[in-house]
A and B are shown apart, each in its own frame.
Chain A
């Protein structure tokens, strides 16, 4: 900035300054420190934005106007009672399997981290087995289970039985679906939980032990709440996988939202595309709801881990509006 301040100096191939109409240069420019730094121009960013917007617009246009999607049929099916019944089944299977899967996962994770080598081996084997067997295979296998074992009894092996269940009565389609998904979910959830527990600083275990806190208290009040911070995002990932995996319960003749769509599609072959869209949109809604819950759960567990909590969308909106207003005021002053 050795040139005289306030005068536009053109250089190289740039057009001469006189060619562009410019505001009148103030006679006495402000000192450098009092001026706002001019933001860097980013032409590349504008070009990328334009390209992406065109592509998005094209896809949206196609989605809306292509008769192939039959949006009127979509509207017809979207809230049909038969679809909503299927949705209820999807939600029910998801809820039961998510809770049972997480509880099972916590127990298996504790087994994996136990000092008892037998417990460690058995829980490792469980995880290995149920992560290896494809979910469809597991479900169909369980579906045929009642044919293999007529009764299920709880008791001493080769000895007397304490309880005996007639399996054909016990194994409803819902039970088979929930058991299958829970067994699978527990195997994955156990790794998520184990990772979370291992992520807690060793010093926390030591401090809890040094204070003489009872073992159960150490886990439930000190270690696990801290582990939940890293468990939450991974488990939600798992949960979203589970929501979609419920579409497999069709194989155990349970009519979830996808099963209903399949059935309706074979009855009304012309509506198969809008029906699939109905299922897709419902899955989108479910995973979105889970993501919203995730944000607030993560925010809750961030207490103490960060100095200030991340803002909620509402707070962000307010802050953004405030920033815009402030900028407008600054601009007005300048």
Chain B
């Protein structure tokens, strides 16, 4: 993995994702407590942590499904959900935020495919609706992407007629259809039967080796070791430690990381 990251000119290009001192509360409950994170272009970052540690919230803050109370996020050098006005940050219009989201892929734990649309329409809808492609172009792209995730023969099916693993692969194709700069995965295999996990991880691995920037929240430690350039361990809304998988997974410095790994491995 280190050979691939070495090719990337880190000095000039902006970070793919930059999370700057993000705090987030739900009522009195503090979910994120000052997160700083930089993801370089093409890098695969795996976020680990016990449940309730804020991993999913962090991911949802990156594409502004959740608004941070303090701090900001930028993706490919562009502030998300806000713009700079003098020395202040000002909230963006909903339309502008939606346009930003169309450049960030998001894959949900529960797939959230549109059940009333066919597999092909699920993938082709967003590029047409956001005005990026015409309908025939979008359908051609959708067929190509569905072929890439191994579902070329299921284009006419409705999501509920597919297995969980197939649904998640459609959801990945749907995210890819917008040609996003970054793709965020929120526990993509947690809702799957054990024998279906492998087919989804294989698709994500394929993306990882093709140089797409990925941020993946997962509990699959083996998978993290295999694809991650960097592993980030979060607990209590803070980053406890981060580094290459060989460090964080095999020689964790912190007690909490060791404790967590001993329970999930």
Contacts and interface: CB of A to CB of B under 8 A. Distances in A.
A208 B113 CA distance: 9
Query: Max chain A CB contacts within 10 Å: which of B116, B117, B175?
Result: B116
B265 interface: no
Interface in A194-214: 201, 203-204, 206-214
A193 to B, nearest CB: 17
Interface stretch (B154-162, B218-226, B254-262): B154-162
A205 to B, nearest CB: 9
A217 B65 contact: no
Contacts of A217: 129
Interface string A217-229: 1000110011000
B63 A305 contact: no
User: 6 closest A-B pairs (Cβ-Cβ)?
Assistant: A212-B102, A207-B112, A304-B158, A212-B101, A210-B106, A203-B112
Given A207-B113, A213-B130, A304-B158, 18 more contacts: A201-B112, A203-B108, A203-B112, A208-B114, A210-B106, A211-B102, A211-B130, A211-B174, A212-B101, A212-B102, A212-B130, A213-B125, A214-B95, A221-B125, A226-B116, A303-B158, A305-B115, A306-B160
B65 A206 contact: yes
A203 B115 contact: no
Given A203-B110, A204-B112, A210 B101 contact: yes
Interface in B100-159: 100-104, 106, 108, 110, 112-118, 125-126, 129-130, 158-159
B108 A213 contact: no
| Chain A: number of interface residues, binned into ranges | 20 to 34
A41 interface: no
Nearest to A212: B102
Interface of A: 201, 203-204, 206-215, 217, 221-222, 225-226, 301, 303-307
A311 B159 CA distance: 21
Query: Max chain B CB contacts within 10 Å: which of A204, A212, A221, A307?
Result: A212
A319 B190 CA distance: 41
B234 interface: no
B98 interface: yes
Contacts of A305: 115-116, 160
Nearest to B110: A203
Contacts of B248: none
B142 to A, nearest CB: 13
A306 B161 CA distance: 8
B50 to A, nearest CB: 23
B99 to A, nearest CB: 6
B126 A212 contact: yes
A206 B98 CA distance: 12
A212 B158 contact: no
Contacts of B61: none
A226 B160 CA distance: 14
Interface in B16-32: none
Contacts of A303: 116, 158
A212 B178 CA distance: 10
Nearest to A211: B126
B94 interface: yes
Contact of A213 (B129, B159, B175): B129
A210 B101 CA distance: 6
Contacts of B94: 215
A217 B161 CA distance: 25
A307 B161 contact: yes
B126 A304 contact: no
Contacts of B117: 304
A152 B123 CA distance: 51
B108 A206 contact: yes
A226 B115 CA distance: 8
A225 B108 CA distance: 21
A211 B159 CA distance: 17
